Structure 1
Amino acid sequence: MSVNMVKGQRLSLEKQGGGQLTLVRMGLGWDAIKKKGLFGSRERDIDLDASCVLFADQQPVDAVYFGHLVSDDGSIRHTGDNLTGAGDGDDESIIVDLTRVPVHVTQIIFTVNSFQGQTFQEVDNAFCRIVDETNGQELARYTLSGGGPNNAQIMAKLYRHGDGWKMSAIGEPANGRTFTELMPALAAHL
């Protein structure tokens, strides 16, 4: 059963029936808002980019995004860049093998941004979700609502908690065309 998360909510990453998750996918989906004009409605391509930054305590140690599709240690993989938002379901995904994440990595923060600078006022049906990749079961979904003049959002983070991992929905609007431009904003969520 999937949980519809709200901003700031925390979720323990455990399998139904017990046990820790081992392989999760953070999916990002969106559509362009249809604009009505004199000659009917039209849709402008929206290029959102999913990224994640790996932290050892407060220090960034790696990042996975459209230009670096696999973490240096191989535990995290981006499935590729979607330039339009076309299609149903996840438009971009980042797959995390929690069993392979190095022990010094304590947090993984997921972001979404528009490299072309388009704002969330131009985006519809945006969401992020976490899926148990071993069986395809959606565990949690977070709707990226609010529109607004921002071109980025700090979506969520995975963080170590005892022997396992937890997820926190952040949903914080930000501005930055790349995850590197979001680094000052990420510091508030470490």
Structure 2
Amino acid sequence: MAIILTKGQKINLSKEGILKKILVGLGWDTNKYDGGYDFDLDASVFCCGEDGKAHKDTDFVFYNNLKHPSGAIEHLGDNLTGGGEGDDEQVVIDLEKVPEEIQKIAFSVTIYDPEVRKQNFGQVSNAFVRIVNSDNNEELVRYDLGEDFSIETAVVVAELYRNNGDWKFNAIGSGFQGGLAALCKNYGLNA
């Protein structure tokens, strides 16, 4: 049975036993929308040092860079519509391969081309992130974001971070305006 977190809560994943590989599932639904465009949300991962910044472009894993050079983090592909049940996009992480210089792994969801499409997270519902133990497919943690967003076009959903040799999970739920470019700037990269 998964542990359900609320915004701001943290959990030590290492206390759940020895985790080697995890699947991070992100999902969402869009409200009825008739703006003439499909609603395309994209999951992204920022691999950060102790300063909370990504130091190389390859530390940004997303639909145009599906795999971190270390082989530790892999985005399983872009869902262009968000249709269907369950996870809309997934990221697989081999915790044993994550380079030591990566101290934090931040997960975000952005709206593709939000200005042109006139879309924002006020039009998104049922957004969630979950952590699954890849060895036995057990869902360990789930965080349902709720409906707290209106004009935001990007959301930092959650993060994994190292703490005294353990991996911890933090339910963030922090919205940004400015889409992917704003997020990249926040994490020290140029969009």
Fold-level match, TM-score > 0.5? Answer: yes
Q: Quickly say closer, same or farther: Cα 1:176–1:137, change in 2 above 3 A.
A: farther
Question: For residues 93 and 127 of structure 1, what CA distance do their matches in structure 2 show?
Answer: 12
Identity of aligned residues (%): 40
Q: Does 1:33 align with 2:31?
A: yes
- Indicate the structure with greater strand content: 1
Question: For residues 14 and 36 of structure 2, what CA distance do their matches in structure 1 show?
Answer: 39
Which residue number corresponds to residue 57 of structure 1? 50
One-letter identity of the residue aligned with 1:136: N
Contact 2:19 2:95 in 1 (8 A): yes
Q: Secondary structure at the match of 2:48?
A: strand
Which residue number corresponds to residue 7 of structure 1? 7
> Which segments of 5 or more consecutive residues in structure 1 lack a partner in the other structure?
none
The TM-score with structure 1 as length reference comes to: 0.86
One-letter identity of the residue aligned with 1:14: S
Which residue number corresponds to residue 177 of structure 1? 179
Once the two structures are superposed, residues 25-55 of structure 1 have per-residue CA deviations (whole angstroms, 9 ceiling, x without a partner) of 11111112125x9xxxx99732111111111
- Indicate the structure with greater helix content: 2
One-letter identity of the residue aligned with 1:76: I
* Equivalent in 64, 88, 105 of residue 102 of structure 2: 105
The TM-score with structure 2 as length reference comes to: 0.86
Contact 1:75 1:100 in 2 (8 A): yes
Number of corresponding residues: 179
Equivalence map 1:39-188=2 (5 Å): 45-58=38-51, 59-61=53-55, 62-117=59-114, 118-145=119-146, 146-178=148-180, 180-186=181-187
After the TM superposition, which segments of 4 or more aligned residues of structure 1 sit over 6 Å from their partners?
Answer: none
Contact 1:75 1:101 in 2 (8 A): yes
Q: Secondary structure at the match of 1:34?
A: coil
Once the two structures are superposed, residues 130-189 of structure 1 have per-residue CA deviations (whole angstroms, 9 ceiling, x without a partner) of 1111111111111122131111111111111122200111101112322x42144458xx
Question: For residues 62 and 183 of structure 2, what CA distance do their matches in structure 1 show?
Answer: 13
One-letter identity of the residue aligned with 1:21: L
